[in-house]
């Protein structure tokens, strides 16, 4: 497996987005565990989760607990989790960026994952009722306390990324934003991360759970390049992202072993400059 860097740590160039294993439509627990094992067997060493990946408020923490079970005794895998999203009645989503909440959420994540230190802890989404400096300041304290190894942010715009990096004293390790053929408006954040040497982790890189399977139908250029190489359009999509910058580490979501195996194989696909221009267009 090709390697990339998050701060001073090496991880697989393709990660596993574990969200589909816990939200509505999730697979059986055995299939979920098999999917994680398939990712590890394929060389994946970055797995992304969050405390809010669950069915509803009563199921909060499900994804972290699942990974805590799946990775017990496993070494050499970076687990990235997030705090700051809440779940509300009926399966809704809320936000809480108060420093005291984020620090308490980190403690709960440590417990559910069964670790002493979280590899990468990310502020899930800005809470407009709380200044970013206060929320990210909590991550700085967690770094200083040794509770987390690296700090990241998610769903931040360029100005917010710069502010977060300043608050962290230049220690911002990763930015996780949506990016896919259908959602390209985060190119400025990707470019800023490239310039600053910060890892950029595209979430829903294949278009999301409901659309990933139709990627080739929705975007004909990806299907055409896939046919030329004898691979899936999804592999072409991930290889296209990897070619954009060495800081890019896509985290495609998977709920089946076959899908993460296919995604991991994208590291072996080399696209020509002409093909990349076609896909960019």
Asked if 167 contacts 140 with a C-beta cutoff of 8 angstroms, the reply is: yes
Dist CA 47 CA 254 (whole Å): 11
Q: Pull the structure tokens for residue 4.
A: 């990339």
In this structure, the dihedral spanned by the alpha carbons of residues 171, 133, 51 and 146, taken in order and rounded to 10 degrees, is 40
- Tell me what the mean pLDDT of segment 257-268 comes to: 97
Q: Nearest-CA neighbor of 159 among 126, 130, 183?
A: 126
Q: How confident is the model at residue 36 (pLDDT cuts 50, 70, 90)?
A: very high
How would DSSP label each residue in 85-114?
Answer: EEEETTTEEEE---HHHHHHHHHHHHHHHT
pLDDT at 91 over 90: no
Asked if 226 contacts 215 with a C-beta cutoff of 8 angstroms, the reply is: no
Query: What one-character DSSP code corresponds to residue 247?
Result: T
The residues annotated as belonging to the active site are 53
Percent of the chain at pLDDT exceeding 70: 100
Beta strand spans in the chain (E): 3-6, 9-12, 16-17, 46-48, 78-83, 85-88, 92-95, 118-123, 148-154, 172-178, 199-203
Percent of the chain at pLDDT exceeding 90: 96
Taking only the tens place, the pLDDT of each residue in 216-253 is 999 999 999 999 999 999 999 999 999 999 999 999 99
Residue 243's pLDDT is 98
- Tell me what the mean pLDDT of segment 157-177 comes to: 98
pLDDT at 281 over 90: no
Q: Residue 202 pairs with which residues in a beta bridge?
A: 177
Element (H, E) at 211: none
pLDDT at 164 over 90: yes
The average confidence (pLDDT) of the chain is 97
pLDDT at 47 over 90: yes
- Tell me what the mean pLDDT of segment 256-268 comes to: 97
Q: How confident is the model at residue 90 (pLDDT cuts 50, 70, 90)?
A: confident
Taking only the tens place, the pLDDT of each residue in 192-215 is 999 999 999 999 999 988 889 999
- To which residue do tokens 């139908």 refer? 217
pLDDT at 83 over 90: yes
Residue 190's pLDDT is 98
- Tell me what the mean pLDDT of segment 130-143 comes to: 98
Residue 155's pLDDT is 97
Whole-model pTM: value is 0.96
Dist CA 219 CA 126 (whole Å): 31
């Amino acid at each position: 497996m090709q390697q990339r860097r998050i701060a001073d740590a090496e991880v697989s160039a393709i990660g596993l987005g574990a969200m589909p294993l816990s939200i509505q439509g999730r697979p059986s627990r055995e299939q979920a565990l098999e999917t994680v094992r398939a990712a590890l067997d394929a060389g994946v060493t970055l797995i992304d989760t969050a405390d809010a990946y669950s069915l509803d408020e009563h199921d909060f923490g499900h994804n972290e607990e699942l990974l805590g079970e799946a990775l017990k005794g496993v070494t050499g895998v970076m687990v990235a989790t997030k705090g700051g999203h809440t779940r509300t009645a009926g399966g809704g989503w809320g936000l809480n960026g108060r420093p005291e909440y984020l620090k308490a959420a980190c403690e709960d994540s440590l417990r559910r994952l069964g670790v002493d230190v979280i590899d990468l802890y990310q502020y899930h989404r800005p809470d407009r009722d709380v200044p970013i400096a206060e929320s990210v300041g909590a991550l700085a304290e967690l770094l200083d306390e040794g509770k987390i190894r690296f700090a990241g942010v998610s769903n931040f715009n360029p100005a917010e990324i710069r502010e977060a990096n300043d608050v962290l004293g230049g220690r911002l390790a990763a930015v996780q934003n949506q990016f896919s053929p259908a959602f390209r408006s985060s190119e400025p954040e990707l470019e800023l991360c490239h310039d600053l040497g910060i890892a950029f982790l595209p979430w829903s890189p294949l278009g999301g759970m409901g659309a990933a399977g139709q990627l080739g139908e929705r975007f004909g250029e990806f299907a055409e390049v896939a046919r030329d190489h004898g691979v899936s359009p999804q592999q072409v999509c991930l290889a296209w992202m990897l070619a954009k910058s060495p800081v890019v580490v896509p985290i495609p979501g998977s709920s089946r072993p076959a899908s993460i195996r296919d995604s991991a194989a994208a590291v072996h696909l080399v696209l020509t400059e002409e093909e990349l221009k076609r896909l960019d267009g």
